[in-house]
Structure 1
Amino acid sequence: MTQSWKIGIIGAGGISEAHLAAIQEEPRAQALAIADVNEETARKRADRHGIPHVYTDYREMLKRDDLDAVILCLPNFLHASVAVEALSSGKHVLCEKPMALNADQAQSMEDAAKQAGKVLMVGQNNRFRGESTLLKRLVDQGKLGTVYHVKTGWIRRNGIPGWGSWFTSMEKAGGGPLIDIGVHVLDLALWLIDYPRPVTVFGQTYSVFGPKKKGLFGWGTVNDQGVFDVEDLAVAMIKFENGTTLILDVSWAAHIEKDRAYVQLYGEEGGVNMDFNAGKITLFHEEAGVPVDSVLYPERQNERLLLLQNFLDAAEGKEEPICRPEQGVYIHRILDAIYTSSRTGKPVTLDETD
């Protein structure tokens, strides 16, 4: 008999819509409740998706014995504390990225999940793209040989989200594009190459356009009462124990040709380029000593639905979670090191315990 999963949504902002759409397509799942401090926003979501219970205090929602799991669609600074409470109350947790504000908070979430014996997953939905799953198979099958270098990035020309909102507050977001969109491509790139141990991180962040409060905002509305104390561009180089290197480039605002999100892998037997919006991956290799470009077109996949299905399968004990909490902690240790390197102007050496 198929288990019916009663799910609660904590946070009724825009990203909750993507999760609720996936729930509607998954027969095992039902959105039982939604919580948000803005009751009007929560009720609009509830009415649209037929959610029977609305709360303004998520803690009241967590008291429900008939609630099996929750999806956290909250500002970054609330992820750790709410996740720990939800796990401690006996709920499985799917948390939007980034996992937390920093590695210590992420570790507290992993520890809480282990203690509760519940599934904690981070919503790294880009792992479930058709291009990503195809590329992962190619790497795992050895089509590229040993991958020795990676370039990845998510660059926007005109995309500062909501100047003065929590997105542009270091206290509430933990950073700018590095922790907002950079976490997506960094996670994807490292998942593809099986998370080698990082040993040295050098990074630099820039805040060029945000503090000027003019131009290159692109997304959302300006809140004059808010702050902008995060970066709007970050670059980093990471060296791993096995000798592999990775270059990361992320921006919300920059004088560039166009927006782009990409992963490039350099292997001894072949290389590959994946652009998020291209719907294809290009493999660079040799045949009979002649350079050849092979273009592969994977099937389109509903990445949010596949994320939800893997979460439920993991909660049912049928599969391992594809996005594991220890990987989220690993990512945050690298992000923390990039910010530290930028502040100090020096490379950061990561110890065995990091």
Structure 2
Amino acid sequence: MNTIGVAIIGCGGITLQNHLPGLALCKDTRVVALCDNNPATLEKASRDTGINVTSTSYEEIVKRDDVQAVIIATPNISHGPIAHAAIAAGKHVLCEKPIAMTYAEAKGMADAADAAGVRHMTAFTYRFVPAMRYLSHLIKQGDLGLPYHYRSCRLQDWGKRNLGWRQVKALASTGELGDMLSHRIDFAQFLIGPIQRLVANMRILITERGGQPSDLDDWVAILAEFEGGATGVLESSKLASGRNESWRSLDWVELNGSEATFEFTTGKWNELLHGKAGGPGLAPLAVPREFWVWPGSPRDPQQGDPLITFRYDQAFEFIDAIRNQRPCVPSFREGMQTQAVIDAAVHSAEIQAWVNLPNT
């Protein structure tokens, strides 16, 4: 395979901010087609990028001979249908998170992709933060010891503004849970292992956003137990007034083990906090340069805003996996495992009780 042709389905902000710049760094890779069901959005994206092959029909786009791979950046409800259409056409697929509306749908996507022999990837972009990669390395080599506790907190101030499809249950399935906490659920299972059972609560605190109804959660919290015996506490909110947004707001993970504690904050891409058992407290721990970019990525970590550019390594991982015919990291399987936790959290909040996770 020489040049890999990529079609992007969904031309909103995430495509312009993350996917296009990342693909631009990939050798012998070209975005050959754009698709969006909103003609105005599609026209603007075509004008901004100079890509003239466009369509409002994903069925048409995935069948093109010059398309070998597809990136899905659409409302959650359409992830499954688009992915299945692309897989049936033999295309490799990178899908935004959460990859599906339910665990059953996510599993169906993963099973279909494996059966077809195509590469599949879930867009858990924070996996590519240098500090997160280094933290994973330290845990794998035993620096944490036996894991005791995992906790994460994501607090932003989104106020009452309109969130479009993200505030409509029929289009998104969940709100803050799938939108923001899904990343932290992935962190948890990536670093500690599978969640075995949980109890959760969710609240819809704003029922009207920008003059339109909102029927999805603005706040969610999970108390979890991992298969290995560790405990977990995860909280996320859109309504932490005064906290600001993006990297300027609180996005924090802490892990306590028998040998040490580690703290990870996304705003500090090249630093962890670390303290040994019985020690004086936490102190900064620099991330070595070999973790500043994804292995093999051509990205220069000195170029651009490092709080944004780490996301571009995601595109490299997708393209490199296609070229080398190996599994993507993270794949649909990790997206499926996160969706199992999301479904369990929704069910727990509904019945107000602990829920056991399926064997994923």
TM exceeds 0.5?
Answer: yes
Distance 1:66 1:257 in 2: 45
Quote the residue 2:153 is aligned against: 153
In the other structure, the counterpart of 1:188 is 187
- Unaligned regions of 5+ residues in structure 1, if any? none
Q: Which residue of 1 aligns with 2:197?
A: 200
Question: Are 2:272 and 1:275 equivalent residues in the alignment?
Answer: no
Change (3 A) 1:156 1:29: same
Superposed CA offset, 1:68-100 (max 9, x none): 001001001110111011111110000011111
Other-structure match for 2:284: 295
Q: Which residue of 2 aligns with 1:260?
A: 250
C-alpha distance in 2 between matches for 1:175 and 1:284: 36
Q: Residue type of the partner of 1:206?
A: R
Instruction: State the match for 2:167 in structure 1.
Output: 168
Kept in 1: contact 2:119–2:325 (CA 8 A): no
Distance 1:281 1:108, change over 3 A: same
Instruction: Return the offset for 1:319.
Output: 4.5
What's the offset of the Cα at 1:346?
Answer: 0.9
Structure 1 window deviating more from structure 2 (292-301 vs 277-286): it is 292-301
Cα distance change on mapping 1:332 and 1:46 into 2, 3 Å: same
**Could you tell me which residue of structure 2 aligns to residue 349 of structure 1?**
356
Which portions of structure 1, spanning 4 or more consecutive aligned residues, are displaced by more than 6 angstroms?
none
Mapped partners of 2:279, 2:231: distance in 1: 27
Aligned: 1:339 with 2:346? yes
TM-score (norm 2): 0.88
- Aligned residue runs from structure 1 range 217-232, under 5 A: 222=210, 224=211, 226-232=212-218
SS of residue paired to 2:324: coil
1:178 equivalent in structure 2:
177
Residues 130 and 252 of structure 1: is their aligned pair in 2 closer, same or farther, counting only changes over 3 Å? same
How far 1:136 moved relative to its partner? 1.0
Question: Would you say 1:236 and 2:236 are equivalent positions?
Answer: no
CA contact (8 A) 2:68 2:91 kept: yes
Query: What is the TM-score when the length of structure 1 is the normalising length?
Result: 0.89
Cα displacement (A) at 1:138: 1.0
Q: Deviations for 1:8-62, whole angstroms, at most 9, x for unmatched residues?
A: 0001111110201111122231000001122232232223223231112111111
Aligned match of 1:47: 47
The equivalent residue for 1:66 is 66
Question: Which amino acid in 2 is paired with 1:307?
Answer: Q
Cα shift at 1:294? 3.2
Deviations 1:112-152 (A, max 9, x none): 10121101101111000111111111111111112121001
Q: 2:234 aligns with which of 248, 266, 279?
A: 248
Alignment check: 8 A CA contact 2:155 2:250 kept: yes
CA distance in 1, matches of 2:282, 2:200: 33
The answer (yes or no) to whether the contact 2:119–2:327 under 8 Å persists in 1 is no
Q: 1:255, 1:9 → 2: CA distance?
A: 35
Q: Is the 8 A contact 1:161 1:167 kept in 2?
A: no
Asked if the contact 2:159/2:238 (under 8 Å) is kept, the reply is yes
Shift of 1:321: 1.5
SS class of match (2:264): strand
- Aligned with 1:322 (options 329, 336, 341): 329
Residue type of the partner of 1:285?
K
Equivalent residues of 2:79, 2:99 under 8 A apart: yes
Q: Which runs of 5+ in 2 are unaligned?
A: 293-300
Identity percentage over the alignment? 29
Cα deviation digits, residues 239-269 of structure 1 (max 9, x gap): 1222111111011113575631111111111
* CA offset digits 1:200-241 (Å, max 9, x no partner): 210000112x11x3xxx7xxxx2x3x4211111010111122
